[in-house]
Amino acid sequence: MIVKHGMNSGFSSLASSAVLRRQQFLIRSLRGYSDHTHQKRMEGMKCFSGGASLEADSENVLRAIIPSLDPTRHKGQAGKIAVIGGCREYTGAPYFAAISALKIVEGAATVIKSYSPELIVHPILEESYSISNVDDEGRRYVSQKILAEFDKWMERFDCLVIGPGLGRDPFLLECVSKIMKHARQSNVPIVVDGDGLFLVTNSVDLVSGYPLAVLTPNVNEYKRLVQKVLGCDVNDQDTHGELLSLCKGIGGVTILRKGKCDLISDGEIVQSVGIYGSPRRCGGQGDILSGSVAVFLSWARQHMLATEGKPIISPKNPTVLGCIAASALLRKAASLAFEHKKRSTLTTDIIECLGQSLEAICPAA
């Protein structure tokens, strides 16, 4: 009986051990899952390494700066945005960027006009191929003519978007450089994206020290800016410090670093927008973003005037507010579009969801 008891005791011990091992395995698995989930959540909060971001209160920013629909106001009082972009090869980008757009590259105008009758298109820029037989004096005359034509409109603009689909034609970029200088003299905000960032990276003085300039680089454009301005490679271990240094290095411009989370800085603060958007990365979303930044930046400046420089929201910088609002709206629209279209989501689908996403945050009535 002692033996039997021993056998039973042994069996009980073995059984208990097996149960214990299964329990411990389950606990370890759950802990691992929990840790993994926690890690993913933290990644969602941080988005970039180098410290936790201060997540922007984007919905309150949107509600604060969007002007109310007032039946006493007339066309144009909500702002006028000029998009300087497009060339013979790239006609879609400026269309995506435009809400009320000025398009000024010859050869693309007819195509872009066909996209929407609501776009005002001025094909006044010239590319090198069209003046190949012109001497230096003739080129100067053409350049002066372009600037004179543009200056007639400059005072009407609330913001310029420089770069979507612009191309890298040397004469065209030379003319755009002069337009940017004129915009600075007129105190007109500038949002730079796409090929405009190629221009700025090679001529940082175009935006250096201009607090109304916003740059919206993707990962590769950001890398080139860091190398040009800071003289080093991107440091993923100190994303916030590096972004602050980059903004300061360019004299206090605002940078919206696009990524898993968008990081926004004016050299003084860093804010992030980590709203989940869409895993479908269709081309053209950056163009929507740059056009949206221009609109919200303009509205943020109007808000500053209306509140006599004492806005009811934070941060106080209208360029940062414009970036926060645009990033949040695009991400919400992309999420909504993906919910309906999944893998077949296109940029045009996201555009169609902008209004619905905005209405959900800030109802018109």
Q: Tell me the binding residues for (6S)-NADPHX.
A: 165, 218-224, 287
Q: What is the CA radius of gyration of the chain?
A: 26
Strand partners, 255: 215, 265
- The sign of the torsion formed by the CA atoms of 239, 331, 99, 106 equals positive
**CB atoms < 10 A from the CB of 225, how many?**
22
Give the residue ranges of the annotated binding site. 165, 218-224, 258-262, 277-287
Strands in the chain per DSSP E:
54-55, 81-84, 102-105, 120-125, 159-162, 190-192, 213-215, 254-257, 262-265, 270-273
- Counting DSSP H helices and E strands in the chain, the numbers are 12, 10
Q: Report DSSP letters for 340-365, one per residue.
A: HHGGG--HHHHHHHHHHHHHHHS---
- The sign of the torsion formed by the CA atoms of 179, 180, 181, 186 equals positive
The span from the CA of 35 to the CA of 279, in Å, is: 23
> 254 in helix, strand or coil?
strand
Tell me which residue of 336, 126, 104 sits closest to 112, measured CA to CA: 104
Give the residue ranges of the annotated binding site for ATP. 258-262, 277-286
The span from the CA of 50 to the CA of 210, in Å, is: 27
If you count them, how many residues does the chain have? 365
Q: Are the C-beta atoms of 112 and 94 separated by less than 8 Å?
A: yes
Q: What is the dihedral of CA 237, 239, 242, 247, to 10 degrees?
A: 180
